[in-house]
Homo-oligomer: A and B are copies of this chain.
Amino acid sequence: MPCRIFVWVARMKICQVEGTLVATARIGSLENRRLLVVKERGSSGKQVAVDPVGCKPGDWVIAVGSSAARDAAGSKDYPSDLTIVGIIDYWDDSSGKAGAQ
């Protein structure tokens, strides 16, 4: 049953590193960069991110999408649309929970 809803799409995202993804048959421009499986805060959905920062499983990170993901991964031609740009120390959360720890 189709319905219409209004959604707010997360852009600069708070997510947590789950583990590594191995893909040996890949296009040349992906090079041998490290690919991680990440999970967003408050959901069980998983996706793939390029990691130029050097994260370990369990880290909370900020990831960017769209064309920003390409420069962040190293060059305007890199075929990423989700790249980690920083590891979160903590954040303010109005609900009173200390974030990321």
Interface size class of A (residues with CB under 8 A): 35 or more
Chain B residues within an 8 Å CB radius of A85: 26-27, 30, 79
Question: Residues of A with Cβ closer than 8 Å to B?
Answer: 1-14, 18-27, 29-30, 35, 37, 39-50, 52-54, 57, 62, 64-72, 77-83, 85-94, 99
Task: Give CA–CA (A70, B72) in the complex, Å.
Answer: 12
Q: Contacts A12-B82, A25-B86 hold; do A6 and B45 have CB atoms under 8 A apart?
A: yes
Partner of A68, one of B6, B7, B9, B81: B81
User: Would A68 and B80 be within 8 Å (CB), given that A7-B4, A13-B8, A44-B6 are in contact?
Assistant: yes
Most B Cβ at <10 Å: residue of A12, A27, A30, A45: A12
